[in-house]
Amino acid sequence: MAENIIAIGLDNVVVAETDLSLVDGQNGLLVYRNHWARDLAIHHTFEEVAHLLWYGELPTEQQLNALKEKLKANRTLPAHVKAALDQIPADVDMMSVLRTGVSLLAEPTHAWPPTLEQVISLTAKMPTIVAYRQACLQGTEPLEPNSALDHTANYLYMLKGEIPHPAHVRALDAYLILTQEHGMNASTFAARVVASTRSDLISSITAAIGALKGPLHGGAPSEVTEMIEQIGTKENAEPWLRAKLEKGERLMGFGHRVYKTIDPRATALRVVASELSADDPWFDLATHVEQVGLKLLAEYKPNRKLNTNVEFFAAAVMRAVGLDDAIFTPTFAVSRVVGWSAHVLEQAANNRIIRPQSNYTGVMPE
């Protein structure tokens, strides 16, 4: 039998060519189709960047208006989806609810190949699922989407029950842009594996949500806020973090498979968070925890080049705009669905089933 190369964790294995993004982990660079992600987050909006990823270019004014109208027209949840969400027990976590809600959006017409119409419809509905569930948990009447508001503002409106402050919309928009796309991360890979079997878009995105949920991927931001809460004071930061590392545990919001220098999304979001949180003691403590965490990681893992990742400051931004911990990761999904679906379209356009191998280490029958 021929010897296969074993790549546990698929480190450094290239499984696709993509026009969507470049993640340069050595130099800390992130490009979406010929644009710096950082610049897109400063100068553009959620819909403009989604257009760039889905259609290949930033939109003209006319194209942008057309996309906004399509998103607005698709925000409302079908009655059967609401009825099913109502049946889910209150202690089921929000990511599981989102995964179930997305699964319920399957339609007979959604067979292979995936289309941009399906992608837009799904992207429009995901924020409504999250807001609907939150309202049910809080015992308030779920708000219908507000067609006067764009994607991010409408999401905040549905979650908070009031027209959001423009600074909050800008901050959340920056976060949602910086996390729309990120190469072949675990959830995107999951989406592409499912798409490669010629399964439907909804099945791909359901798989991706399941992958994003894990604390080593998109589940980290709520664990960052939990960590800051538990640390509580600046004096407690070093003993608390040191105790974690002594036990061999990981510090949430630090480290990345690809970035061996600062995560450029963390750099950009640090600025956004600090603008909103200038006088907030929580943010002051968080930046202290970051400094102590970096110092200790250099001490305990000297050869690993561990830096702050996007999740550390994602937590700070989402907290600053008033979102609850429980919807930090679902909000990541509301953003990343753009990249997942762009990858599904790209996979479908040039498909070969993704089918790696494993080495049998068991015993052969007699």
H/E segment holding residue 334: helix 328-349
Kindly state the smallest distance separating residue 254's Cβ from ligand ACO, in Å.
Answer: 4
Q: Is 164 in the site for ligand ACO (CB under 6 A)?
A: no
292 lies in the binding site for ligand ACO (CB under 6 A): no
Residue 107 Cβ, how far from ligand ACO at the closest point, in Å?
Answer: 30
Q: Closer CB to ligand ACO, residue 160 or residue 257? A: 257
User: Which residue of 145, 255, 264, 339 would you call a contact of ligand ACO, by CB under 6 A?
Assistant: 255
> Does 13 help bind ligand ACO (rule: CB under 6 A)?
no
Residues 54/119, Cβ–Cβ less than 8 Å: yes
Q: How far is the CB of 196 from ligand ACO (least distance, A)?
A: 22
CB contact at 8 A, 251 and 297 = yes
Q: Which residue's CB is nearer to ligand ACO, number 201 or number 220? A: 220
E-assigned strand segments in the chain: 21-24, 29-32, 35-36
Give the dihedral sign, CA 316/170/323/250: negative
For residues 36 and 52, give the distance between their C-alpha atoms in angstroms, rounded to a whole number.
Answer: 12
Q: Which of 35, 110, 198, 217 binds ligand ACO (CB under 6 A)?
A: 217
Tokens matching residue 37: 């992600």
- Of residues 198 and 217, the one with the C-beta less far from ligand ACO: 217
> Which among 351, 332, 237 is positioned nearest to 285, based on CA atoms?
237
Size of the site for ligand ACO (CB under 6 A): 18
First and final C-alpha spacing in the chain: 19
Query: Is 198 a binder of ligand ACO (CB under 6 A)?
Result: no
- Does 213 bind ligand ACO (CB under 6 A)? Our answer is no
Work out the angle at residue 273's Cα, subtended by the Cα atoms of residues 269 and 277, and round it to the nearest 5 degrees: 170
Diameter over CA atoms, the chain: 72
Stretch that binds ligand ACO, among 14-22, 29-37, 197-205, 253-261 (CB under 6 A): 253-261
- Provide the 10 A C-beta neighbour count for residue 111: 12
Q: Which span sits near ligand ACO by CB under 6 A: 67-75, 159-167, 191-199, 211-219?
A: 211-219
Q: At what angle do helices 166-178 and 46-55 cross, to 10 degrees?
A: 20
- Regarding 310 and contact with ligand ACO (CB under 6 A), the answer is yes
Cis-peptide into 113, omega within 30 deg: yes
| Rounded Cα gap, residues 326 and 329, in angstroms | 7
We find the least distance from the C-beta atom of residue 191 to ligand ACO, in angstroms, to be 15
- Near ligand ACO by CB under 6 A, which window of 19-27, 122-130, 216-224, 316-324? 216-224
Nearer to ligand ACO, 164 or 218 (CB): 218
Binding map of ligand ACO across residues 48-77, x = CB under 6 A, - = no contact: ------------------------------
The least CB distance from residue 134 to ligand ACO, in Å, is 22
Q: Does residue 306 interact with ligand ACO by CB under 6 A?
A: yes
Residue nearest to ligand ACO (CB): 255
What burial letters (b/e) apply to 306-323, b meaning 16+ CB within 10 Å? bbbbbbbbbbbbbbbbeb
Where are any strands of DSSP class E within 25-81?
29-32, 35-36
Interaction of residue 251 with ligand ACO, rule CB under 6 A: yes
304 binds ligand ACO (CB under 6 A): yes
Please report whether residue 272 would count as binding ligand ACO according to CB under 6 A.
Answer: no
Is 295 a binder of ligand ACO (CB under 6 A)?
no
Under rule CB under 6 A, residue 301 binds ligand ACO = yes
Q: Does 256 bind ligand ACO (CB under 6 A)?
A: yes
Instruction: List the catalytic residues.
Output: 256, 311
The CA–CA distances, whole Å, from 21 to 5, 24, 53, 179, 220 equal 27, 10, 9, 12, 23
Q: Determine how many CB atoms are found less than 10 A away from the CB of residue 22.
A: 14
Q: Taking the CA atoms of the chain, what radius of gyration do you get in angstroms?
A: 21
Site of interaction with ligand ACO (CB under 6 A): 216-218, 220, 250-257, 301, 304, 306, 309-311
